[in-house]
Amino acid sequence: LSPCLDQEEPENPRLKEEQEEFWTSQEEEQLQRLEETNLRWHTNVHTGEKPFVSDVCGEEFYRQDHVTTDVKVHTGEKPFGCSACGKRFNVKRNLNRHMIVHTGEKPFGCSVCGKRFNTKVYLTRHIRVHTGEKPFGCSICGKRFIAKVYLTIHLKVHTGEKPFGCSICGKRFNAKKNLTRHIRVHTGERPFGCSACGKRFKEKGSLTRHMKVHTGEKPFGCSVCGKRFNRRGYLSLHTRVHTGESPFGCDVCGKRFKQQVHLTRHVKAHTGEKPFGCSVCGKRFKVKGDLTRHMKCENCQP
């Protein structure tokens, strides 16, 4: 009789042992080849060699698997889907990173300030805020950045490249996050809510700044008088009180201002522009603050 093709595990202990040894050796060989490949690819980072080229766009890469990822970017293929929200990704590691959004897990903590992050990459980037390290430099203007992604976005300032376009109004942007932020102008979406007062914001950064109103945190201090501020921008404005700097000048009369908003308001004195109109009585104003004060008038309550 011919033996069955779908044989069960052999009864012979010696034969079973030989099979286990064979599969173990196969796994060890595969692991060794994988380690050798990863070492070769990693060495390319130091030598600068990029032997792997995308057939689609011609971009060169250190690793073969990066070419595979690049092709998916062009084809739009996203084979890895989130079981919680359905969002799809072109590589599995991005899906794994995304899943932490649902679990809320932040396993990586900063040893300096205690802030926690959901990926080691974000922690590494954050630590540079404390150390002041900016390893990524622009070859054109010399400006340096704590993360490569910020350098990539910055380079588009020099090239003028704006690959991300709004499907509603056509306005274009040099970074996808800027497009995402802009689209909320059309949709009115404010996905970031304050847990203390319920106020909602279009950007996470705006929520972070707002939270300091509740906590009273003022991390930015003036080196001259010691006055403290909850935003770096407010500190920069305040510093001009000491330096006397007025960097914003009127092209018409030459008058100078410490803030751009004050110059903008002043220019309307020359142009006569009054872009803010009362919906009740039709009276128009140069600045929104004047309209707001006017609307509080009893006769113009809508």
pLDDT grade for 19, boundaries at 50, 70 and 90: low
Write down the pLDDT at residue 217: 85
Q: Which amino acid is at 68?
A: T
Q: What is the pLDDT of residue 2?
A: 41
Would you say residue 180 lies in a domain? yes
Average pLDDT for the chain: 82
Q: Does the pTM of the predicted model rise above 0.85?
A: no
Per-residue model confidence (pLDDT) at position 200: 92
Question: Which structure tokens are listed for 5?
Answer: 């093709």
pLDDT computed for residue 275 by the predictor: 84
CA–CA gap between residue 274 and residue 184 (Å, rounded): 26
**Is residue 56 in some structural domain?**
no
CATH code, domain carrying 140: 3.30.160.60
Residue 219 forms part of a structural domain: no
CA–CA distance from 232 to each of 125, 135, 181, 220, 284 (Å)? 19, 23, 21, 6, 34
Q: Is 161 a member of any domain? A: yes
How many domains, the chain? 1
Domain hosting residue 112, numbered range: 106-189
Residue 115 has a pLDDT of 87
Q: Are 53 and 59 contacting, i.e. CB atoms less than 8 angstroms apart?
A: yes
Please report whether residue 176 resides in a domain.
yes
pLDDT band at 26 (very low <50, low <70, confident <90, very high): low
Q: Which residues in 34-48 are b (16+ Cβ under 10 Å) and which e?
A: eeeeeeebeeeeeee
Domain membership of residue 128 (yes or no) is: yes
The per-residue pLDDT for range 136-165, each reduced to its tens digit, is 999 989 889 988 888 888 888 898 888 889
Rounded to an integer, what distance in angstroms lies between the CA atom of residue 286 and that of residue 59? 51
Identify whether 112 is part of a domain: yes
- pLDDT above 70 covers a percentage of the chain that reads 84
Q: What is the pLDDT of residues 190-222, one digit of tens each?
A: 888 999 899 998 888 888 888 888 988 888 889
* Within a domain: 261: no
Cite the DSSP H helix spans in the chain. Answer: 13-47, 64-75, 92-103, 120-131, 148-159, 176-187, 204-215, 232-243, 260-271, 288-295
**H/E element, 60:** strand 60-61
